[in-house]
Structure 1
Amino acid sequence: MDKFLLKQQVLDRLAEDLLQAEQAARVAHETATHEENIAENKYDTLGLEAAYLASGQAQRAEAIRQVMANWRQFHPGPYEPSKGIQLGALVCLVDSNGRQQHLFLGPVGGSMKLVCGDQVVQVISVEAPLGRAMLGKFEGDEVSVQVAQIRQQFEVLQVV
């Protein structure tokens, strides 16, 4: 799997999310400022509610822009076996039932599932519990994560 292709897929998905957030902010702003939505009494809050929604969507769009900036600056390098799993690693884990999962350890904010060839790849950050647990691990090591009352354990099969 190509890490740079995965990075581009993340950026493409974030660009789609940004477009949707900007469009939602525009629609909410137009609703908030439309002359038909001027409050006639203190109970007429459609315009006010739309203004809050427009503000929230604008904040969401700005947050997506920040995430995109982080991903643009991110340059995943080759795996260095002496350092173990680091930011930019592409990791294959297997659970106790033999189920494999592929994870791409990237910057904050890119949590999503991607398809690369015939593989599904989960993008996670080092701030995610599983991402944090994988840092510094090597092929053959066990990774353990507590999720609610359940402890999940995985083996690191491969790191690229």
Structure 2
Amino acid sequence: MNKTELLKQVIARLEDDLLQAQQAALTAYETATHEENIAENKYDTLGLEASYLATGQARRAAAIRQTLANWKLLVLRAFDPLLGIQLGALIELSDDEDRRQCLFLGPDGAAMKLQQDGQSIQVIGPQAPLGLILIGKTVGDEVTLHVASGVQLLEILSVD
């Protein structure tokens, strides 16, 4: 798998999300400020509700913009066993039933699934429960993840 291509996919998805959030904020703002939505009495709250929505969408767009900026600053490096897993790592894990999963560890705020070469890759951040326990680990290490259904033991098979 190619980490550079994965990074491009994450950035493209975040750019799409940002565009959608900006358009949603603009639509809500236009609704809130439209002359037909001026309150005629205290029960006429469409304009007020639209202004709350516009504010929320603007905050969402700002959060996505920050996440996008962080991902654009991500420098992809080769895995260094002395440092262990760091941001930008592509990790393959296996559970006790030999089910495998691939993870791409990057800055927070971009949890998503990507496809590359017919394989599914989960993008996670360092604040995700699994991200927290993987930082600093290396190939062959086993980690324990506490999930709602119990405890899951995972082995790190490879890191790029």
Query: Structure 1 length normalisation: TM-score?
Result: 0.96
CA distance in 2, matches of 1:10, 1:134: 20
Task: List aligned pairs for 1:8-157, cutoff 5 A.
Answer: 8-148=8-148, 150-157=150-157
Q: How much does 1:152 deviate? A: 1.2
SS of 1:24's equivalent in the other structure is helix
How far is 1:18 from its partner?
Answer: 0.5
SS of equivalent to 2:113: strand
CA distance in 2, matches of 1:126, 1:95: 20
Once superposed, which parts of structure 1, at least 4 consecutive aligned residues long, lie more than 2 Å away?
none
Give the residue type in structure 1 aligned to 2:48. Answer: L
Question: CA separation in 2, counterparts of 1:6 and 1:39?
Answer: 48
Name the SS for the 1:138 alignment partner: coil
Which 5+ residue runs of structure 2 have no aligned equivalent?
A: none
- 1:64 and 1:158 map into 2 onto residues whose CA distance is 30
Amino-acid identity (%): 58
SS in 1 for 2:42: coil
| Superposed displacement of residue 148, structure 1 | 3.1
TM-superposed deviation, 1:86: 1.5
1:88-108 per-position Cα deviation (integer Å, ceiling 9, x unaligned)? 111000111211000011011
| CA deviation profile, 1:27-53 (whole Å, cap 9, x unmatched) | 111111111111010000000000000
Does the residue aligned with 1:88 lie in a helix, a strand or coil? coil
Partner Cα distance (1:11, 1:21) in 2: 15
Give the whole-Å Cα distance in 2 for the aligned partners of 1:105 and 1:92.
Answer: 11
Q: Does 1:5 align with 2:1?
A: no
Distance in 2, matches of 1:64 and 1:120, equals: 23
Q: TM-score, normalised by structure 2?
A: 0.96
AA paired with 1:53? L
Shift in Å at residue 149 of structure 1?
Answer: 5.4
Please give the alpha-carbon distance, in whole angstroms, between the structure 1 residues aligned to 2:82 and 2:35: 65
Partner letter of residue 62 of structure 2? E
